Chain A
Amino acid sequence: MRRPVDPDEVVARLRQAPPRGVIARGQGRAYGDAAQNAGGEVLDLGACADVDLSRLADDGTIVAQAGATLDAIVRATVPRGFFIPVAPGTRQVSVGGAIAADVHGKDHHVRGTIAAHVTRLRIATPVGVREVGPADDLFAATCGGMGLTGVVLDATLKLLPIPSSHVVVDTDRGPGLDDVMAAMSEATDDRPYSVAWVDAMTRGAALGRGIVTRGRWARADEAAREPLDARSLPLPPALPVNLLSRPAAEAFGALWFAKAPRRRRDELQRLTSFFHPLDALRGWNVVYGPGGVVQYQFVVPLGAADVVRRVLEMLAVRRVPSALAVLKRFGPRRGGPLSFPIPGWTLAVDVPARTPGLAAVLDACDALVAEHGGRVYLAKDARLRRELLPVMYPELVTWRAVRAAHDPDGVLRSDLGRRLGLDGGER
C-alpha cells in the first residue's frame, strides 16, 4: 500500500505499475474486495483530500480531490447553506469511492446518483490524465466502474442549496410489505427523501413489515431556532449487544417496529440523524461478531416487486438472522454501464457471515434477481459468482471496451475485478 502525496505521484505510480497492477483506495467502506489488490499495489488516496470552495457562492460547485470525504465536505458546506447532492448511508466515504460506486441516496427517484451531479472529472489513466464531462464514455464507465477505469484525481460537484440543517419527517408503520411499498409509492413531490426499515425476521402476513420515513428539508422558518450544523448525534440509539442469533434479531425487529409511531407527521430531525443514523455508532458492525457481516443488496424492476417478498421469504425459511434490512425505490434515471440503480425496488440486508447455509441461499437469491432483470450492487458484494455478472450487467461489454481503450494493459486491477472477471477474465 502506498499513500501518494499528490496527483503527480498517482500518475507516476500508474506508469510504473507492478505486474499485478494498481487500485485506488479511499475510506475502504466497500463491503467486499473492491479496494484490495492481492500481490499488487493499493494507492491510499487519503492524503489527496483538498476541497476547493472558492466557487461555491457563485455557482454552487466545489472541486474536491478524490481522497476528500463526504463528511469533510458536509462539515465545510452545511454552514454555508449547501449539502452533498446525493447522500449515501454513511458520510465516511471518499469522493473517489462515491464515484466508483456511483452512490445513491434516499431520493434517487428525484435526484439520481452522484454521477448526475458531477460536472467534470479529472482521471489518471495509464495512457494519460483526462478531463471528462458527462457526455464522455470514460465518464460513464468510471461512475460505477469500481476504480477499474483509472484513478479519479478530482471532481467538480454541483451541491444542493439547503434552507436549513433540518429535515421534516413523516413516519408511517406498515404492517406488511405491501403496506410499506404502497406508502413509498405515494406521490413524493413534497417528500423527496424516502426509505423504509424492513423487519427481515417475520413471516406470513407480517412479512416485510416496516417503518417508512419520508422527508423534506425544513424551511428556514420551521427550523428557525436551530443553527446550520453538521454535528453528530450526541447519543447513539440503543442496540442490543448481540444481533448474531435469530432470537435476538427477531426480538430486536419486534421492538424496533413496535417503538415506531404508527403515523407521525412533520417531525423535525437533524440532518445527521435522518441521513446518517449509523455514522453515530463508530464500529457498529462489531455486533456481528468475529465472522463479520455480509451485506446483500439488489435491485429488481418495478414489475418484479414480488422478488423482494420472495427474497425475504427465503431468508426467513433458511433462518438467516438480520436486524437491518433497508428498502428504497429507484426512479427512471439511468447511469453508466456498471451503475447499479435501475428503476425499481432495492433491498439491502445485513447478515452475519458465518450463518450456516448462507452461501446457498444468497446464490438462490442471485438467480431469482437475475432471472427478473435485476442486479446485485458491486460495492456491497463479497460473494457473487462470476457467471452471473454479464447477466446482471448486460452493458458489461460496453464497459470493457471503454476500459480497454484507456487501460489496454490492464494496469488497474482489484480483487473484486479478479473474482468477478470484470476485466474480461484476466486473473
Chain B
Amino acid sequence: MIDGLGRPQRILVVGASSDIAAAVVRALAARGGLDAALLTARRTTAVAELADELAAAGVVADVATWDATDDPEALVARAWADGDVDLVLVAVGALVDEDAIVDDPARLAGAFHTNLVGPATLALAAAARLRAQGHGVLVVLSSVAAVRPRASNLVYAAGKAGLDAFAQGLGDRLADDGVRVLVVRPGFVHTKMTEGLEPAPLATTPGRVAQDVVAAIAGRRSTAVWSPPAVRGLMAVLRVLPQGLYRRVSRGR
C-alpha cells in the first residue's frame, strides 16, 4: 500500500536504466518504507548497480530484461506474483536518429514502438492489475516535447505526444477505480540520453525531476508533473506561438 505520507512499499520500474527513472527510485528509497522493487531494462547489467544500492538499503530488488517489443503480460504477472504493486513507473523511451528515420521511412514504425506502442501497451497491462486491486499509482514518463514538435525532434515528439494523450485518457478511465495516473513532463534534462546536445532553457537534472515526481506522488491529487514547474509556463507560450515565429525560435534546437 502507499502509506499516509505517499510512500509506496512495492514498485515496478520499467526502463530503470533511464537516469530519470533511477533517480526516482533512489528518491523513493531514501524516503523510507520501500520493501521491494522490480527493475527492468533491455540489459540487466544496466540496472545491476541500482539493484545493489537498493539491496544495501534493505529493499528486495529484483531485475528483469524487458524491451518495448516484449510481451507486457508476462512482466506484469511476474511483478504481481508476490502481491499488490503500489506504483508502476513507465520510463521506456529514447531519442531517435531523426535524420536517419526521415531518410528511411521503414524505420519509423520501430521508433513509434519504442516511444509509444511499447510503453502504452505496458501501461494498459499494468492498469488492469491496478484496477483489480483498487489502489496504486501509474507514473508515465512523457516530455515537454509532447506539447509541440519541432523540425529536429518530430519523431520523438510525436511518440511522446501520443503516449501523453493516452496516459491522460487512461487516467480519466481509472479515476473511479482508486488508481491515479501521473504524467511526468520534464523539460531538458542532463542525462545520458541528452549528452552532447545543446541544453534548452530551464534545463534540469534527474535528481530534481525525481524530487518533483516524489512530491507529486505524495501529494495524492496531482495527475501531471512539469519539471521544473516553470517549464509549464514556457510551453504554454511556445504552444501558441504562430508557426513562423516558432520555427525561428526552435531552429537548430
A interface with B by C-beta (< 8 Å): 20, 31-33, 37-40, 290-291, 294, 353-354, 358-360, 362-363, 382-383, 385-386, 415, 418-419, 426-427
Contacts and interface: CB of A to CB of B under 8 A. Distances in A.
A38 B1 CA distance: 9
A353 B5 contact: yes
Interface stretch (B15-23, B27-35, B106-114): B27-35
B133 A360 contact: no
Contacts of A360: 31-32
B134 A418 contact: no
Contacts of A358: 5
Contact of A383 (B33, B134, B221): B33
Contacts of B33: 359, 383, 385
Contacts, number: 62
Given A359-B32, A359-B33, A38 B5 contact: no
A383 B7 contact: yes
B7 A359 contact: yes
Given A359-B31, A359-B32, A419-B1, 9 more contacts: A33-B4, A38-B133, A39-B132, A39-B134, A40-B134, A353-B4, A363-B32, A418-B83, A427-B10
B98 interface: no
A289 to B, nearest CB: 12
11 contacts: A33-B4, A38-B84, A38-B135, A39-B133, A39-B134, A382-B3, A382-B4, A382-B5, A383-B7, A385-B32, A427-B83
A415 B5 contact: no
B134 A38 contact: yes
B9 interface: yes
B133 A359 contact: no
Q: DSSP majority for the B interface?
A: loop
Contact of A386 (B9, B83, B219, B221): B9
Contacts of B133: 20, 38-39
Contact of B134 (A20, A362, A382): A20
Interface string B62-90: 00000000000000000000111000000
Contacts of A290: 221
B178 interface: yes
Contacts of B132: 39
A105 to B, nearest CB: 25
A361 to B, nearest CB: 11
B187 to A, nearest CB: 24
Nearest to B220: A291
A294 B220 CA distance: 14
Interface string B121-147: 000000000001111000000000000
Given A360-B31, A360-B32, A426-B83, A383 B5 contact: yes
Contacts of A362: 5
Given A383-B5, A426-B83, A427-B82, A415 B135 contact: yes
A82 B82 CA distance: 51
Nearest to B34: A385
Given A38-B133, A39-B135, A418 B7 contact: no
Contact of A415 (B1, B31, B35, B221): B1
B176 to A, nearest CB: 13
A184 to B, nearest CB: 30
A9 to B, nearest CB: 22
B31 A419 contact: no
A38 B178 contact: yes
B34 to A, nearest CB: 9
Contacts of A38: 1, 84, 133-135, 178
A419 B82 contact: no
B3 A383 contact: yes
- Would you list the 5 A-B pairs with minimal beta carbon distance, nearest first? A382-B4, A427-B83, A39-B134, A38-B134, A38-B135
B9 to A, nearest CB: 7
Contacts of A382: 3-5
A362 B31 CA distance: 11
B230 to A, nearest CB: 20
Contacts of A31: 4
A385 B252 CA distance: 51
Interface in B195-245: 218-219, 221
Nearest to A360: B32
Contacts of A294: 4-5
A31 B218 CA distance: 17
Nearest to A415: B1
- The listed residue with most B CB atoms (<10 A of its CB), out of A291, A353, A359, A418, is A359
Contact of B9 (A20, A359, A419): A419
